[in-house]
Amino acid sequence: MNNLLETPIEYLKGVGPQRGELLRKELNIHRYADLLNLYPNRYIDRTRYYKINELQNSNSEVQIVGRVIHIKTVEQKRGKRLVATFVDDTGEMELVWFQGQKWIRESLKLNSVYVIFGKVTAFNGLFNMAHPEMELLADHEKSLRSAMQSVYPSTEKLTQKGITNKTVNRLMQQLFIETQALFKEPLPANLIDELKLIPKNVALFNIHFPKSQELLAKAQFRLKFEELFFIQLQLITKNLIRKHKIKGHPFDSVGAYFTTFYNHHLPFDLTNAQKKVLKEIRNDLGSNAQMNRLLQGDVGSGKTIVALMTMLLALDNGFQACLMAPTEILANQHFLGIRELAKDLNLNIKILTGSTKTADRKIIHEELENGSLHIIIGTHALLEDKVKFHNLGLAIIDEQHRFGVEQRSKLWKKNTIPPHVLVMTATPIPRTLAMSLYGDLDISVIDELPPGRKPIQTVHRYDSNRLKVWKFLKDEIAKGRQIYIVYPLIQESEKMDYKDLMDGYEGISRDFPLPQYSVSIVHGQMKPAEKDAEMERFASGKTNIMVATTVIEVGVNVPNASVMIIESAERFGLSQLHQLRGRVGRGAEQSYCILMTGHKLSNDSKIRIETMCRTNDGFEISEVDLKLRGPGDIMGTQQSGVLNLQIADLVKDRDILQLARHEAIRLLKDDPSMNKPEHQVLKQVFIELSKKRNIWNHIS
């Protein structure tokens, strides 16, 4: 029966070659199975018929029974419109068409009883409906329709070519007739009983032709669970396979480097969160399997020291370590930070970026190959073919969502046995996303800030309060503090952004004049050397104010900077606002973040700004961000294809996702290879899906 679902879509009665081509191009429907999995994106309750005198100007969709008594064509500025007068026993309204008028005029039957359906709006005291769906009452009463009507995803092109929602509904009915609704049940019987799921074929029928609201809800739950369950099976299986098959270098000993550093050179006591994470990492490194761990920690939570201590474990076991960062600024900061922390350990630590001089490169390449270079920190430059290691045991990747998958795999290929991998991010990933995107990585979280850090106070001010804000800045500078003022950067309009930034810079230089004040500026059109020089002037305290674009979002560490002003804050996303705020609050003094906006704010902007003022918790912020933007945007373009979910929604269906993950773990613990007789169909579907869903196979 299920082979029938592999039939090309043009063979379905009512489709044919032309429609088939359209469905393929517009909705990616190639086979019967693709049409079956085209789920409605909403439903209309067609159980109720309205009278014309009951209509409201609510922009909602209604159906009305009545007659067309008059048709006319009305000239307008551009083209014509067709207007019909539609009546029932309580009043009259107008039906309007702007397209396809000739065909509609010919097919409308005056004085026949029609059921019309569409959105109603009021215009000049009369209700009207544009481009209504129309059906003669006699046909309406005959057709197989459920109380709730499905509305399917569509495109402009499909509608133009006459493949309306009604057409898709008819094709779906045809599909159920041809397949007799006999669909394979992939889930094991005990799971269905335990979770009280409805059978697969009942779920599929009711998702397309719901008999009632209640059955529709059960059908949605069943299909969402199944989709997320298979994804989790795949991710967890991958994790298990990696732990069994991909051998890692066992780091058995905790030697002199680690213990000397821990006992004598720790600049501060580790927080409990840092200790917990180190313990998880040490367990991985000693387990004979390759470590693949994601380390999440908010800005300033102390990931760098965890990274260094992990590197020391690699050195203690006779291996080299590398740390790769997405930008030169960030790589430099890691290099300076790690070199300072490890200054008494007698280690050879170097940095390799695009601007490393050729003579220095040669030395680095030689020392890496002969093993005398212990730790290398760098950017994409580490991936060049010339870079060869003596024995790379650990690769740490910072802000990994900025690196594509191919780039990361280049690092692995530099060794016969792949190195252990620690991926670090200061962009908190909501738990829901982490479970689906990184379900095959083990996750560690540093969820407390080092002691002595005061939470940053965040406030929202309108442009009209600028004088008060400037007075506050002067008071802070008088206390010896420094200030960031950040302007948005939107790639498409760099000229405009540059103008905003330069206007701002000139205004600030006027309001904070020399010699009492000194202002730095950094933006994307400066040469790297100029940028570094300006950053350096600010970092060393020679200037009081740094005016910048978002260049400073990652990796500038100036403990003396205590105020972050974000201009046009409504133009930034939540995670960007949170990252920028993390540039202050690095010293022991109270720090502030001031969000400046105009008075006109969209609803989303209001939510973002209110969230920033309410909480400093990166995870809470990331959850709000996920709700506002959806999973595709958060992951960035190169990974958005990952979440091609057909019915589940990671934001709304968090609980179902957790249940699916729990059940998948339980099943694989009991039967890792899915070989039990009751898991045979499950295994077969799992193998089929694994072939098709190649997107899942290269996430990490």
What is the DSSP code string of 383-407?
A: GSTT---S-EEEEEEESGGGS-HHH
Q: Is the pLDDT of residue 527 over 90?
A: no
C-alpha to C-alpha distance for 399 and 296, rounded to whole angstroms: 10
Q: Is the pLDDT of residue 311 over 80?
A: yes
Are 461 and 371 members of one domain? no
594: which residues sit within 8 A by CB, 6+ positions away? Answer: 458, 459, 460, 461, 469, 472, 563, 564, 565, 566
What integer pLDDT is reported at residue 643 of this predicted model?
A: 54
Are 560 and 415 members of one domain? no
Are 500 and 391 members of one domain? no
Tell me whether residue 11 is in a domain.
Answer: no
For residue 467, the SS3 value is helix
Are 407 and 508 members of one domain? no
Higher pLDDT pick, 462 / 240: 462
Tell me whether residue 446 is in a domain.
Answer: no
C-alpha to C-alpha distance for 582 and 557, rounded to whole angstroms: 10
How far is the CA of 559 from the CAs of 448, 546, 550, 589, in angstroms? 19, 14, 19, 9
Which of 448-452, 474-478, 613-617 has the least mean pLDDT?
Answer: 448-452
C-alpha to C-alpha distance for 661 and 565, rounded to whole angstroms: 42
Are 408 and 461 members of one domain? no
Count the Cβ atoms, other than its own, within 10 Å of residue 514: 8
What integer pLDDT is reported at residue 597 of this predicted model?
A: 95
Are 479 and 589 members of one domain? yes
Higher pLDDT pick, 373 / 583: 373
Are 275 and 328 members of one domain? yes
What is the count of structural domains for the chain?
3
Strand order in the sheet with 375-378: 349-352, 375-378, 320-324, 392-398, 420-425, 292-297, 442-446
Tell me whether residue 168 is in a domain.
Answer: no
Could you tell me if 231 and 238 are in contact, meaning their C-beta atoms sit under 8 angstroms apart? no
Tell me whether residue 281 is in a domain.
Answer: yes
C-alpha to C-alpha distance for 597 and 604, rounded to whole angstroms: 14
Domain stops at, among 80, 110, 144: 144
- Mode of pairing for the β-strands spanning 420-425 and 292-297: parallel
622 band by pLDDT with thresholds 50, 70 and 90? confident
Could you tell me if 416 and 389 are in contact, meaning their C-beta atoms sit under 8 angstroms apart? no
CATH number, domain of 314, equals 3.40.50.300
Q: State pLDDT tens for residues 350-378.
A: 999 988 999 999 999 999 999 999 999 99
C-alpha to C-alpha distance for 93 and 86, rounded to whole angstroms: 5
Tell me whether residue 157 is in a domain.
Answer: no
Number of Cα atoms under 13 Å in the Cβ half of residue 339 = 12
Q: Is the pLDDT of residue 399 over 80?
A: no
C-alpha to C-alpha distance for 191 and 196, rounded to whole angstroms: 8
409: which residues sit within 8 A by CB, 6+ positions away? Answer: none
Q: Model's pTM, two decimal places?
A: 0.65
Which of 13-22, 231-240, 647-656 has the least mean pLDDT?
Answer: 647-656
Helices (H), ranges, 161-212: 165-179, 189-194, 200-208
Q: Is the pLDDT of residue 640 over 60?
A: no
Could you tell me if 446 and 302 are in contact, meaning their C-beta atoms sit under 8 angstroms apart? yes
600: which residues sit within 8 A by CB, 6+ positions away? Answer: none
Residue 250, amino acid: P
Highest mean pLDDT: which range of 148-152, 376-380, 572-576? 376-380
Domain around 72: 47-144
Tell me whether residue 623 is in a domain.
Answer: no
Find the mean pLDDT for residues 199-219: 90
Burial class (CB in 10 A: 0-12, 13-18, 19+), 482: buried
Percent of the chain with pLDDT over 70: 90
Reply yes or no: is the peptide bond before residue 455 cis, omega within 30 of 0: no
Token pair for residue 403? 């690196």
- Kindly write down the DSSP assignment for every residue of 43-108, as one continuous string: EEETT--B-GGG--SS--EEEEEEEEEEEEEEE-SSSEEEEEEEEETTEEEEEEESSSHHHHHHH-
Q: Is the pLDDT of residue 692 over 80?
A: no
Q: Is the pLDDT of residue 437 over 70?
A: no
**H/E run at residue 495:** helix 494-511
Token pair for residue 184? 């394979």
525 band by pLDDT with thresholds 50, 70 and 90? confident
CATH number, domain of 104, equals 2.40.50.140
Q: What's the chain's average pLDDT? A: 87
Find the mean pLDDT for residues 512-528: 88
Q: State pLDDT tens for residues 240-288.
A: 877 777 778 889 889 999 999 999 999 888 999 999 999 999 999 988 8
Residue 372, amino acid: S
Tokens 């050397």 correspond to what residue? 529
Q: Measured between alpha carbons, how far apart are the two ends of the chain, in Å? A: 36
Are 389 and 334 members of one domain? yes
Residue whose C-alpha is closest to residue 543's, from 515, 520, 564: 520
Tell me whether residue 14 is in a domain.
Answer: no
Tell me whether residue 172 is in a domain.
Answer: no
Which of 134-148, 386-400, 648-662 has the least mean pLDDT?
Answer: 134-148
Could you tell me if 657 and 228 are in contact, meaning their C-beta atoms sit under 8 angstroms apart? yes
496 band by pLDDT with thresholds 50, 70 and 90? low
What integer pLDDT is reported at residue 642 of this predicted model?
A: 45
Q: Is the pLDDT of residue 699 over 50?
A: no
Are 532 and 411 members of one domain? no
Are 571 and 464 members of one domain? yes
C-alpha to C-alpha distance for 650 and 26, rounded to whole angstroms: 25
Q: Is the pLDDT of residue 695 over 60?
A: no
284: which residues sit within 8 A by CB, 6+ positions away? Answer: 291, 293, 420, 442
What integer pLDDT is reported at residue 690 of this predicted model?
A: 80
Number of Cα atoms under 13 Å in the Cβ half of residue 585 = 23
Are 374 and 470 members of one domain? no
Helices (H), ranges, 254-300: 256-260, 272-285
637 band by pLDDT with thresholds 50, 70 and 90? very low
What integer pLDDT is reported at residue 404 of this predicted model?
A: 54
Q: Is the pLDDT of residue 144 over 70?
A: no
Domain stops at, among 144, 165, 200: 144
Could you tell me if 415 and 622 are in contact, meaning their C-beta atoms sit under 8 angstroms apart? no
Could you tell me if 67 and 87 are in contact, meaning their C-beta atoms sit under 8 angstroms apart? yes
C-alpha to C-alpha distance for 169 and 310, rounded to whole angstroms: 58
Could you tell me if 682 and 186 are in contact, meaning their C-beta atoms sit under 8 angstroms apart? yes
Q: Is the pLDDT of residue 552 over 70?
A: no
Higher pLDDT pick, 565 / 447: 565
Domain stops at, among 110, 144, 178: 144
265 phi, psi to nearest 5 deg: -120, 5
Are 611 and 549 members of one domain? yes
C-alpha to C-alpha distance for 489 and 551, rounded to whole angstroms: 9
Residue whose C-alpha is closest to residue 489's, from 447, 547, 532: 547
Q: Is the pLDDT of residue 428 over 50?
A: yes
Q: Is the pLDDT of residue 635 over 50?
A: no
